[in-house]
Amino acid sequence: MVAKGFTIVELLIVIIVIAILAAITIASYNGITMRVYNVAVQGDLANIARQIEVYRAENDTYPRNVAFQMLGPKVSKSAYGALWFDNEHMPRNLLYCSPIATPDRYLLIARSKSGAVFTYGTDGSDESDMSITDGSTSTSICSQFDIPTAGTVEDRQIFYEPKLDGSSPEDGWNSWVR
């Protein structure tokens, strides 16, 4: 009587082929996910920039502090990684630089979960290869991107800044961010 079925070698070959296909699929999925994060951050920056330009058209100046917060910028919160860590090792992300000294310029800076840093401002948009040192201040980061600020709250806004004392929203995003 002849035995019917598969040999161990045939089964191993099928298992290896399935493992290879699974590895390719997982690698592709991760690459697509990183691109989605990048596109979401770039889209957010472009939308916030449009809000800023509308504000400027109506008020002849770029928004600062409370005026900027009143725009209620909307972001895809899950697409962001930490842009830098402050001196207390707290993550920070999505920085708006709009110096009083140069009222005709602004810049948005953000890092997606993929690690890519994006900028959008009066000079256009870009993917930056600048590295941001942990322990930096928002003032030094604005200056690093050629938008020097005086170091006042009026000059910049940080969208994501959880606080050690627990006073920030649970997810770390400021309350004026939608």
Would you state the pLDDT for residue 28?
A: 82
Would you state the pLDDT for residue 34?
A: 92
How far is the C-alpha of 132 from the C-alpha of 140, rounded, in Å? 10
Residue ranges of the chain with per-residue pLDDT less than 70: 1, 151, 163-170
How far is the C-alpha of 30 from the C-alpha of 103, rounded, in Å? 41
Would you state the pLDDT for residue 21?
A: 93
Would you state the pLDDT for residue 6?
A: 85
How far is the C-alpha of 25 from the C-alpha of 22, rounded, in Å? 5
Phi, psi dihedral angles at 63 (to 5 degrees): -70, 145
Q: Quote the pTM value.
A: 0.82
